[in-house]
Chains A and B, each alone.
Chain A
């Protein structure tokens, strides 16, 4: 006797379900992204409330109630006045150049333009001949910038004079005698000093960082030990203590005649600090170069130094371009700390000028800080976008 038939076979299609209500269009997007659950809806409403609470006041303060032009602080002291942009306009030269002599500002401008041009050349991926740019930026530019900013000392005057005699040129003789008088670093200040500190940091820290990273991986035990100790000690202490050390201890360690300039000391501290951080970035790049590249180079009979120079370093440095830019951003933000040893950087310029009796008022501090925040934000945000772009480009080439 066969078992009873229990199989069920459907004999017609089940009725079609109604189409889903909202899968596309703005309403569906709002539902999916703003109100997809009870908690999410509450959060959305809270966020909207927060934005409504903060935006009108901010816009009023920054734009509508702001004082755009005024001869002094009276208009800004009026009750209900917003940001005092007139104060920023009045002080912008000081914020940019510090007390640098007003008739010599072109020297700073020229230096900044040259630096920006060279940096663009180095950083823009499609521009050719990076080698020349690197030599210009890391070797020639520092010397030119120093002579432009600081002025011609006896040494450089003698050089120009010799050239003038050799070519028998009156123009050069005139240059040797009169142009580029020395401007002491006690007059330097503002944005230009912030950029200077950051640039010196990056110019010194790249080669030093490469050397330290190579030393850390060296097979020579003493060199490796020295590099590890230096890197770990400097990374373990705050930048402020390094600056204090450079400021108070450095003059003790050298003969009196060599005592570094007031601005030179923090520069040495910043350069040391930046170098050890750069060393760790470069080490990451060195470790990311596959072992096969070393072995391939050795198999071709390249010497140790040629292998490093021609095979490993170019790849390692390309990989770490985003890392280098990120550490430059960190360095640029850290330059604000040099104020502790009396250097008149941008933030210190802002922080001292807010007490100027002609302008002093309840909104001056906040206006100054808002201006500084915008400046740093624009600079750092642009750099970080660049770093992201490079990261994507590099990932593109490595994708399989």
Chain B
């Protein structure tokens, strides 16, 4: 009996009190981390000195001495520095990321809706696409597009001609490039003015509808503002744009704009891969809206198109946006696979060539990681803002 009482008696010895225990764990972790960091820094300093690895950022302003085959800003081996190479890589990463996000979203929504189609065949085809793409590695798909589809294309002399003066060969995609004359800027301003005007028009119409129950037509005036106004301005300045068409000279095309095959392969691979994941997210989002919502809406006499736009999509978006954000982040991070097919993105140019030439491993990798972190944080901040904006306000 006494034994049992002894067992049931509250025990609070010194080391099991929760606060003391947590303090001990935290101090242990802190000490461990400080020791790790200190010994890492000390080892790194000694190792870097022994191997002659630079420990500062002097390399940033040194002449690069290598060429980059695709660049949004002028870059040449003789005149530009490693710092410029960083910006070239960063811009290329952002370019492929932005194009990929747009393309993957459009494709993903189309495929996701196709999977839910009442048409059995369309649903099955979309399902097969999603299964095949999601169950093979992205790297394999990229290598396939680059090595098995784009590289075996015919050379410049046997280029495939696409409509509109566009040529496709194993050196890339050659397109006519627009050459803007004076006054073309005004047309651009007119486009912006048209978009702003349409938004204002929409606001005014909504306000009138809320107060009187009847708005005024917006669609056609807005289309006129966005398309006719710029065209009119453009005409007024005498169509100041000429196209420079790519010409086959000798062994390659000159003139026009060129998209390198590495970019095409990377963009194709990234968008097709991410689209499959987005399709599943879209499907899950639409399925998450209960049937009662659709039924209630049609009971109120709302047409099926309006039901989709005003009832289903807004509720589905609530479910779709957070995982969609994750997919955008994945796409941007996956664009680093460019290094495998030689597209000069941040990792290939900076963490690859610059690191190998300068040997400044710690600095280069720290900068690369920081850039991706900042991109990730900015993207998720924007998407969180968007998510809050479209979130349904309940009660």
Contacts and interface: CB of A to CB of B under 8 A. Distances in A.
Given A40-B118, A237-B333, A241-B351, A373 B365 contact: no
A333 B133 CA distance: 11
Contact of A369 (B132, B135, B140, B361): B140
Given A223-B25, A245-B369, A253-B40, A34 B136 contact: no
Nearest to A42: B119
Chain B's interface: helix, strand, loop or mixed, by majority? helix
A39 B132 CA distance: 26
Nearest to B368: A241
B59 to A, nearest CB: 15
Interface in A372-399: 372-373, 376-377, 380-381, 384
B43 A255 contact: yes
A33 B120 contact: yes
B362 A252 contact: yes
A337 B139 CA distance: 7
Interface stretch (B141-149, B163-171, B201-209, B262-270): B141-149
A365 B149 CA distance: 10
Contacts of B125: 47, 50-51
Contacts of A238: 333-334, 336, 347, 372
Contacts of B144: 366, 369, 373
A334 B147 CA distance: 20
Contacts of B217: none
Interface string B19-32: 00011011001100
A334 B122 contact: no
A233 interface: yes
Interface in A16-60: 33-34, 36, 40, 43-44, 47-48, 50-51
Nearest to B379: A236
A382 B395 CA distance: 45
B119 A34 contact: yes
Interface in B57-116: none
B143 A347 contact: yes
Given A36-B118, A236-B376, A340 B148 contact: no
A251 interface: yes
B118 A336 contact: no
B118 A249 contact: no
Nearest to A242: B369
A280 B122 CA distance: 35
B123 to A, nearest CB: 9
B139 A347 contact: yes
B155 to A, nearest CB: 14
A197 B18 CA distance: 39
Nearest to A304: B18
B219 interface: no
Contacts of B365: 241, 244-245, 248-249
A219 interface: yes
B47 interface: yes
Contacts, number: 156
Contact of B29 (A226, A235, A339, A362): A226
Contacts of B334: 238
Contacts of B44: 249, 252-253
A222 B30 contact: yes
Contact of A380 (B22, B135, B336, B368): B135
- Among the interface residues A40, A51, A241, which one has the most CB atoms of the partner chain B within 10 A? A241
A44 B121 contact: yes
Given A220-B26, A252-B362, A253-B40, A240 B148 contact: no
B28 to A, nearest CB: 10
Interface residues of B, number: 55
A254 interface: yes
Contacts of A219: 22
Given A223-B25, A237-B333, A336 B137 contact: yes
Given A336-B137, A347-B139, A373-B136, A223 B26 contact: yes
A255 B40 CA distance: 9
Nearest to B139: A336
B113 to A, nearest CB: 12
Given A222-B30, A240-B337, A241-B347, A252 B48 contact: yes
A208 B351 CA distance: 28
B86 to A, nearest CB: 14
A354 B25 CA distance: 54
B189 interface: no
Contacts of B337: 240, 337
Contacts of B336: 238, 240-241
A333 B53 CA distance: 34
B148 A381 contact: no
Contacts of B16: 303
Interface in B1-48: 16, 18, 22-23, 25-26, 29-30, 33, 40, 43-44, 47-48
B250 interface: no
Interface in A335-386: 336-337, 339-340, 347, 351, 354, 362, 365-366, 369, 372-373, 376-377, 380-381, 384
A336 B136 CA distance: 10
A256 interface: yes
Contacts of A376: 135-137, 140
B131 interface: yes
A354 B368 CA distance: 32
A336 B369 CA distance: 20
A362 B152 contact: yes
Contacts of B362: 249, 252
Interface of B: 16, 18, 22-23, 25-26, 29-30, 33, 40, 43-44, 47-48, 53, 117-122, 125, 131-132, 134-140, 143-144, 147-148, 152, 329, 333-334, 336-337, 339-340, 347, 351, 355, 361-362, 365, 368-369, 372-373, 376-377
Given A220-B25, A240-B347, A347-B137, 13 more contacts: A33-B119, A40-B119, A47-B119, A48-B121, A236-B373, A237-B372, A249-B362, A252-B48, A252-B53, A340-B339, A369-B143, A376-B137, A384-B135
Interface of A: 33-34, 36, 40, 43-44, 47-48, 50-51, 218-223, 226, 233, 235-241, 244-245, 248-249, 251-256, 303-304, 329, 333-334, 336-337, 339-340, 347, 351, 354, 362, 365-366, 369, 372-373, 376-377, 380-381, 384
**Which 3 A-B residue pairings sit nearest by Cβ, starting from the closest?**
A380-B135, A33-B120, A238-B333
24 contacts: A36-B118, A43-B121, A43-B122, A44-B119, A50-B125, A222-B26, A222-B30, A223-B29, A241-B369, A244-B365, A252-B44, A252-B53, A253-B43, A304-B18, A333-B138, A354-B147, A365-B147, A366-B144, A369-B144, A369-B148, A373-B136, A376-B137, A376-B140, A377-B135
